[in-house]
Every structure is written in structure tokens, then in C-alpha cells.
Chain A
Amino acid sequence: MEVTFYIASAVAVYATIMVITRHNLIHALLYLVLSFMAVAVVFYILGAPFIAALEVIMYAGAIVVLIIFVIMMLNLKAEAVEQERKWLSRGIFIGPAVLSLILLVELLYVVTASGVSSSGYPMVDAKAVGMSLYGPYVIGVELSGILLMSGIVGAYHLGRQKKKIVHRFLEKAEE
């Protein structure tokens, strides 16, 4: 088990290094997903399976998808062609693929090996987290709700294309 931790750690570190050194955004994102996956494995090993699941769903899923959406919206024309060409080269996929495989193996081992949860790090399951979250931390939950709300509002406000709304008389006057 100790070994799995270190392997997952190594994958995470390597993937992260790859993220920050890539020239291509999509490649970087692929490595980013990998890095999150590796961290998720670490969470699992540390006895937090609920958080491991959240890590995969939120970080590796939602946030990365959001970034990809934005990249698509930006429609980077000159670079897009260049990127397209690079995406097709097989060498690019090797790194993430290898790392992913390592992680996969690891996961398989961890999941199949018995007595994971009964090890030195006791499992703190979703129920305990939920009880804590809606018990002593309920204020934090409320604040998080406000934060998310403001995030939505802010994102809507900033993301909106500004249309020139000028009164017709004023428009004439400006001409």
C-alpha cells in the first residue's frame, strides 16, 4: 500500500510538471486530468473515498470541461490549426497514456487488495463528512452557497458580451 501511495504521488508530480511545461493547452489539460486522478488515488489511500470521488467529478470532470468549453469558445484561429496538427501527432499521447496506465494499475491494486480501509488510516466515510458538514460547519456551507451564487452572478455579468445600448436620439446626436 505504501508503494501505491508513492507511485501515485510520482504520477501526480510528473503529470503536474507536464501540465506547466506544455505548449499546447489541450495537452496540458489532459495532463491536468491525470494529475487530479493521481491525487484522487492518494485521497483514496488516505481513507477519504468520498473526497476521491468528488475530486474526479469536480476537478477532473467539471472544471476541466469548463476550461475546455472556454477554449472552444475562444476559437483560437491561427493557433487552432497549429494545435490541430499537434494533436494528431501520436507522441503527444504517450506521456499521459503511460501515466494513466500507472494510475490504473495502482487503482486496481488498491481496490482489489483487501483490508485497505482497515489500515492505519481509518476510513472517514461520506456520512461522517455529511454529519460534520451540516453540523458544526453549517455556517461555512451557507457561506459557500453565497460564494457560489456570487460566482454565478459574476461569471454571468463578466461573460456577457457588451452590447451598445444607446438611445436612438443619442445615437443620432453622436453621429
Chain B
Amino acid sequence: MDDVPIESGLVLASILFILGMIGVLTRRNIIFMLISVEIMLNAAGLAFIVAGAKWAQADGQVMFIFILTMAAAEVSVGLALILQIYHQLKTLDSDAASKMNG
């Protein structure tokens, strides 16, 4: 217990973040991309918590709450966008939404 090093927590946060990023990069389904973004946000939050735990301060948790708030807002807007895209394009393929290409 005492020996859980701070590095371990940060490593976990990094791994989760990278996995989320891989998800965003590899998946074409927009919902999957959104889920992956959630994972990344969560990983970032984890990093704050670890840091807060290290210094025994509440600030890390406060940051997490902010991230949580943002994630909630983001997911609601994102899902609304997904709904629109699906209605317009009849697909969830993000590559289909490429009308704005240069």
C-alpha cells in the first residue's frame, strides 16, 4: 500500500490515454470515437488524481470534477452531433462526413 509509487499511477494514466488515442485513430464509427475520447478524458482525470494524492491536496480532485463536467457537456453535444450526422448521411462512418474537404 505504502509502496504504490506515484509513477505507477501515472503510467496507468498514460496507458489508458494512449489506448483511447489508438481508439480515436483506428475506429471509423463515430460513436466509437466518442467513447475513445471519453477514455482519454478519464485518463487525464486519473493523472490529476494521482498528482493530488501525491501532494495530499484537494486540487487534483477539483480538476477531475472540472474534467467530468466538461466530459458531460462534450458527450451531450457530441451525441447530438452524431444524431444529426446519422440523420443526414444515414451512416455513422466518420469518413462519410467529408463534405468540408478542401
Contacts and interface: CB of A to CB of B under 8 A. Distances in A.
A–B direct touch in complex (beta carbons closer than 8 A): yes
Interface string B61-79: 1101110111111111101
Interface stretch (A57-65, A80-88, A97-105): A57-65
Which 3 A/B pairs are nearest by Cβ-Cβ distance?
A1-B1, A151-B73, A20-B23
Q: Is the interface of B mostly helix, strand, loop or mixed?
A: helix
Given A59-B42, A147-B69, A155 B12 contact: no
A66 B71 contact: no
A58 B38 CA distance: 12
A129 B65 contact: yes
Given A20-B32, A119-B2, A151-B77, A13 B70 contact: no
A166 interface: no
Contact of A63 (B57, B60, B75, B92): B75
A13 B4 contact: no
Contact of B22 (A1, A20, A54, A148): A20
Interface string A25-43: 1001100100110010011
A120 interface: yes
A129 B1 contact: no
Interface string A116-142: 100111101000110111000100100
A39 to B, nearest CB: 6
A20 B82 contact: no
A5 B4 contact: yes
21 contacts: A2-B4, A13-B12, A13-B15, A19-B19, A20-B23, A20-B27, A29-B35, A32-B35, A32-B38, A35-B39, A42-B9, A45-B4, A47-B56, A48-B64, A54-B68, A70-B79, A120-B1, A129-B62, A132-B62, A147-B70, A154-B80
Interface residues of B, number: 58
A25 B38 contact: no
Q: Most chain-B CB neighbours within 10 Å: which of A1, A58, A120?
A: A120
A128 B58 contact: yes
Nearest to B2: A120
Nearest to B58: A132
A161 B88 CA distance: 10
A71 B31 CA distance: 9
Contacts of B50: 46
Given A28-B32, A155-B79, A59 B71 contact: yes
A9 B62 CA distance: 22
A50 B60 CA distance: 12
